[in-house]
Amino acid sequence: MTRKLDPQNQTKETVIKRAPLPVTHVSEAAPSRADIEQLRQDLLSHYDAHGRTLPWRIRPEDRARGVQADPYSVWLSEIMLQQTTVAHATPYWKRFLSEFPTVIDLANAERDRVLTLWAGLGYYARARNLHKCAETVRDLHDGVFPTTEAALLKLPGIGLYTAAAIAAICFNEPTNIVDGNVERVIARFFAVDAPLPKARKILRDLAGSLADPVRPGDYGQAIMDLGAKTCTPRKPLCVECPWQWKCKAYSLSTIQACAVTDYPKKLKKTSRPIRSGAVFVLTCGDGDATSVWLAQRPDDGLLGGMMGFVGTQWRDMKADDPSQDLQYAPYPKNWELLDGEIRHVFTHFDLRLRVYRAQISDSDRGHNINSGHEGSGAGDFASRDFDIAALEAGKFIRLSDIENYALPTVMKKALQHALQRAEL
DNA sequence: GATACGTGGCT
DNA sequence: TAGCCAAGTAT
């Protein structure tokens, strides 16, 4: 039996024949062939009996009849589920599929519309790549998803995990599906002492040694389910685990040498720095006609391509200087610094955001905002030069229409803050 | 290989 | 509260 389970590791013939397990990292030798067969069977039986019904999965009875999943909806789910919980992603998946029933529909959509539907899901590069990927499938693949792991891997936003998952689930290719769940299950099963993230390669190889080539998609989903529902990060339910009989961490835990949750070992994360800055919420009109000034952020970097309020840079607390805030205002006006701060957590920093607010009349709007070139006076804030580029990129958006714009959560918080404080 | 990249839920 | 975690990818 020749099969490739790892696109990064294709030089050798089979998965079973891996490099010898490094004794320093693993507490026990690899399971026997017979054990591996038993483990596969245990997991798949467990999956057939208890597998979750998720909307992008085909139903068990259809699966039994050999029906294959739809690559478009599986791909959509896999991208959305990257670093995201099922509960959070599911409503988005339904909305996307409803508005874009096929990959062609998605490719033909405006990117801004895609970003709007994605708003709130986070990691917005996923949405930009999602659209790019759909365009690629439309333009380079006749509107049909490629069917191999290697070809899928070339598409934007599809990495090692997603390519393996789609190829296995939709096309029955015997790939090695490794996500965070699998890493945890495998680290416990083999009691791998090497800490994450350095242990990735070891865990990947160990995972590949167990992966089932006959039902690769079911196996992959089964082991991910096992990690999500049974072999959970905090309180694993070893009592119901089909792999308990061979699990090294469980075995060690029964002789009180360790707890199952000691695995996977991981390096301590450095604490998140705190950054701060300010945003300016400029409103125009009132009541139902209230509009706010929003600009599209540059395509690259944080919240790339999303809409947001104009503001200062977000800098390390120590480098942030509130006395300079008004130089970044989108419009010369008597800005009110609102009480309180927005707090928002990003992956790599905590943000504290001051919110300024000002209101302009419709006459101001017509006269100044759209021309935006005055500012020759000296010293007077009301006549300074302001950021014309930011102005030209922005526009007034009706609050009643704001759901049609790609506003990330941090900006929604700022808007809420400004509107609430304004009422006081 | 390390770092950038969102958000919400749970303890 | 503060930290951890969730079906990772791109650079």
Segment A148-204, tens digit of pLDDT: 999 999 999 999 999 999 999 999 999 999 999 999 999 999 999 999 988 999 999
Half-sphere exposure of A279 (CA within 13 A, CB side): 27
Q: What is the mean pLDDT of residues A46-72?
A: 88
What pLDDT score was predicted for residue A109? 98
Whole-model pTM?
0.88
Gap from A348 CA to B9 C1', Å:
18
B7 C1' – A219 CA distance, angstroms? Answer: 29
Question: Can you identify the CATH homologous superfamily of domain A2-262?
Answer: Hypothetical protein; domain 2 (1.10.340.30)
The answer to whether residue A336 is catalytic is: no
pLDDT at position A7 over 50: no
Report pLDDT for A53: 86
Mean of pLDDT over chain A: 86
Q: Are A250 and A189 in contact (CB under 8 A)?
A: no
Mean pLDDT of A98-127: 98
A178-199: burial string, b at 16+ Cβ within 10 Å, e else = bbbbbbbbbbbbbbbbbebeeb
Confidence of residue A421 (pLDDT cuts 50, 70, 90): confident
pLDDT reported for residue A1: 31
Average pLDDT for A345-367: 83
Give the C-alpha separation, A409 to A355, whole Å: 15
Instruction: Compute chain A's Rg from CA coordinates.
Output: 26
In tens, the pLDDT along A250-266 reads: 999 999 889 999 999 99
**Residue A417's CB: how many other CB atoms inside 10 A?**
21
Q: Do A386 and A98 meet the contact criterion of CB atoms below 8 Å apart?
A: no
The two three-digit tokens of residue A96, written as one number: 């996307």
A346 — pLDDT class (breaks 50, 70, 90):
very high
Q: What is the pLDDT of residue A332?
A: 80
Assigned fold of A274-423 = Nucleoside Triphosphate Pyrophosphohydrolase (3.90.79)
Every domain of chain A and the residues it spans: 2-262, 274-423
A214-222: average pLDDT: 95
Peptide bond before A264: cis, by omega within 30 degrees of 0? yes
- In the set A13, A28, A37, A78, the catalytic residue is A78
CA of A159 to C1' of C8 (A): 7
Per-residue pLDDT, averaged over A134-140, amounts to 98
Range name among A56-65, A207-216, A298-307 with the lowest pLDDT average: A56-65
> Within 240-279 of chain A, which residues have Cβ less than 7 Å from strand B?
none
The three state secondary structure string of A59-74 is CHHHHHCCCCCCHHHH
| Average pLDDT of the residues in A52-68 | 86
Q: What percent of chain A has pLDDT over 70?
A: 85
Residues 311-350/A with CB within 7 Å of nucleic chain B are 344-348
Q: How confident is the model at residue A128 (pLDDT cuts 50, 70, 90)?
A: very high
Judge if the beta carbon of A85 is closer than 7 A to nucleic acid strand C.
yes
Mean pLDDT over residues A382-408, rounded? 71
